Amino acid sequence: MNFEVTELAVGRGATSVLTGLSFELKAGELVGLIGPNGSGKTSL
């Protein structure tokens, strides 16, 4: 099974948190997501 995200945009109020995020995960791939507090990791 594959998972694909294309041009994801997330905001909170008037603040843009993520803009234009695109990626594809294929079966068996492992990904880690790191970043500072408030950068949108949980929103993703």
What was the pLDDT predicted at 5?
93
Q: Are 20 and 44 in contact (CB under 8 A)?
A: no
Interval 8-37 mean pLDDT: 91
What was the pLDDT predicted at 42?
83
Instruction: Kindly tell me if the per-residue pLDDT of 44 is higher than 70.
Output: no
- The model's confidence at residue 33, banded by pLDDT at 50, 70 and 90, is confident
Instruction: Kindly tell me if the per-residue pLDDT of 26 is higher than 90.
Output: yes
Taking residue 25's Cβ as centre, other Cβ atoms within 10 Å add up to 13
Q: Are 39 and 16 in contact (CB under 8 A)?
A: no
How far is Cα 18 from Cα 15, in angstroms, rounded to an integer? 9
Q: Considering the entire predicted model, what is its pTM?
A: 0.58
How far is Cα 32 from Cα 13, in angstroms, rounded to an integer? 27
How far is Cα 18 from Cα 40, in angstroms, rounded to an integer? 7
